[in-house]
Amino acid sequence: MTLFEEMQQAIIDGKAPVVKELTEKALREGIKPADIFPNAIIPAMDEVGRRMRDCVYFIPEVLIAARAARAATDILRPLLVGDAEARSVGTVVCCTVKGDLHDIGKNIVSMMLESAGFRIIDLGADVSPEKIVEAVRENNANLVAMSALLTTTMVNMKAVIEALAAAGLRDQVKVMVGGAPVTESWARSIGADGYGKDAPAAVDLARNLAAA
Partner 1 sequence: MTSRERVQLALDHKEPDHVPLDLGASAVTGMQVDTVYQLRQSLQLDPPGTPVKVTEPYQMLGEIKPDLMEALGVDVVGLGKPATMFGFRNEGWKPWTTFEGTPVLVPEGFNTEPDANGDILMYPEGDKSVPPSGRMPKGGFYFDSIVRQPPIDENNLSIQDNLEEFGPIADTDLEHFRREAKRLSTQTDKAVLANFGGTAFGDIALVPAPWLKHPKGIRDIEEWYISTVTRRDHVYKIFERQCEIGIRNLEKIFAAVGNRVTAVFVSGTDFGQQNGPFISLKSYQDLFKPFHREVNSWIHKNTKWKCFIHSCGSVRALLPDFVDAGFDIINPVQCSAAGMAPEELKKEFGDRVTFWGGGVDTQRTLPFGTPEEVRQEVCARLKIFGRSGGYVFNTTHNVQARVPAQNVLAMYETVRKCGQYPL
Binding site for partner 1 (CB under 8 A): 14, 55, 58-61, 63-64, 67, 98-102, 104, 107, 126, 150-153, 180-181, 183, 197-198
Nearer to partner 1, 9 or 183 (CB): 183
Nearer to partner 1, 35 or 180 (CB): 180
Q: How far is the CB of 139 from partner 1 (least distance, A)?
A: 22
Q: How far is the CB of 34 from partner 1 (least distance, A)?
A: 29
Q: How far is the CB of 99 from partner 1 (least distance, A)?
A: 5
Nearer to partner 1, 98 or 174 (CB): 98
Nearer to partner 1, 92 or 154 (CB): 154
Q: How far is the CB of 51 from partner 1 (least distance, A)?
A: 11
Instruction: Give yes or no for a contact between 129 and 159, defined as CB atoms under 8 angstroms apart.
Output: yes
Q: How far is the CB of 85 from partner 1 (least distance, A)?
A: 34
Nearer to partner 1, 83 or 180 (CB): 180
Nearer to partner 1, 59 or 166 (CB): 59
For the chain, give the secondary structure using H, E and C: CCHHHHHHHHHHCCCHHHHHHHHHHHHHCCCCHHHHHHHHHHHHHHHHHHHHHCCCCCHHHHHHHHHHHHHHHHHHHHHHCCCHHHCCCCEEEEEEECCCCCCHHHHHHHHHHHHCCCEEEECCCCECHHHHHHHHHHHCCCEEEEECCCHHHHCHHHHHHHHHHHCCCCCCCEEEEECCCCCHHHHHHCCCCEECCCHHHHHHHHHHHHHC
Q: Which residues of 186-197 are buried (b: 16+ CB within 10 A; e: fewer)?
A: bbeebebbbbbe
Max alpha carbon distance in the chain (Å)? Answer: 53
Q: How far is the CB of 102 from partner 1 (least distance, A)?
A: 7
